[in-house]
């Protein structure tokens, strides 16, 4: 590390990654946003899934002020966040074959819908199988992952493939193997992960693209407003009523 403070080093690293994502993923961001808009316009539903810390980015686009009301969290019990005890159980569940198919069998996902799958490594059985099974059901898949993992790690799915291999659109987060941006001679392990910052930014860029695409077609985007501003709750109630058949987090 240089003489600058670790906090400055992290901000610099995160900004560099964000700039790369903006410049290098612009075409894929546009394609993903357009796909979401197409799905909304044709009556489809939207879902997001992520396991462990990847779930943070999925949750960030669900029931979010300024976000699309139709985005639903596809939850896998025990694999969302670190709310299970022990926390390592969630990581173990990501490597279980057959779990994703069982979850999709019990979910409202159907042909014509879109599923956003977030997995930093894209190597575990759960996200790979989730993408494969979703496409078998006729859904489109947007994957958000670090493509670098596919060339430097071994897949944990029986097919030997990665999330990126089973997506209609892939957004590459550019995160380096290990998800830690800083090193220090006095610290034995790399530290300061930036995947959540970059992944969330990529997805919010996709949401913005989708909203603008719908508006350009003369369709009012089904956006939520903050419940902490005057009129926000009434606005959201109207959106929930209009699109209730495609919103599952209120049932």
Return the top range by mean pLDDT from 76-80, 100-104, 212-216, 247-251: 212-216
Q: What is the per-residue pLDDT for 150?
A: 93
pLDDT, mean of residues 47-71: 95
Q: Is the dihedral of CA 218, 219, 225, 230 positive or negative?
A: positive
Q: What is the per-residue pLDDT for 2?
A: 61
- Which among 139, 128, 166 has a CA at the least distance from the CA of 45? 139
pLDDT digits (tens, 9 = 90+) for 18-27: 999 999 999 9
DSSP E strand boundaries for the chain = 46-50, 71-73, 114-118, 140-145, 169-172, 182-184, 187-191
Under 8 Å between Cβ of 106 and 81: no
Query: Given a cut of 70, is residue 140 above it in pLDDT?
Result: yes
How far separated are the first and last CA of the chain, in Å rounded? 50
Residue 166, number of CB atoms within 10 A of its CB: 24
């Amino acid at each position: 590390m240089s003489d600058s403070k670790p906090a400055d080093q992290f901000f610099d690293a995160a900004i560099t990654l964000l700039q790369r994502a903006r410049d290098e993923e612009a075409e894929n961001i546009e394609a993903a946003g357009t796909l979401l808009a197409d799905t909304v316009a044709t009556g489809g539903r939207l879902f997001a899934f992520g396991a462990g810390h990847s779930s943070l980015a999925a949750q960030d686009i669900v029931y979010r002020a300024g976000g699309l009301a139709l985005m639903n969290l596809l939850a896998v019990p025990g694999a969302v966040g670190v709310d299970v005890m022990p926390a390592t159980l969630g990581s173990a569940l990501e490597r279980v074959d057959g779990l994703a198919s069982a979850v999709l069998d019990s979910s409202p996902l159907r042909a014509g819908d879109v599923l956003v799958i977030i997995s930093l490594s894209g190597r575990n059985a759960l996200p790979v199988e989730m993408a494969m099974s979703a496409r078998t059901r006729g859904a489109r898949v947007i994957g958000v992952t670090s493509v670098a993992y596919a060339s430097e790690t071994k897949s944990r799915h029986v097919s030997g493939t990665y999330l990126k291999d089973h997506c209609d659109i892939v957004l590459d987060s550019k995160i380096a193997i290990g998800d830690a941006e800083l090193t220090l001679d006095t610290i034995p392990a790399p530290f300061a992960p930036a995947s959540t910052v970059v992944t969330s930014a990529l997805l919010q860029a996709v949401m913005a693209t989708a909203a603008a695409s719908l508006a350009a077609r003369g369709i009012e985007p089904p956006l939520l407003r903050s419940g902490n501003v005057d009129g926000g709750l009434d606005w959201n109630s109207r959106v929930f009523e209009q699109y209730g058949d495609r919103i599952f987090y209120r049932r």
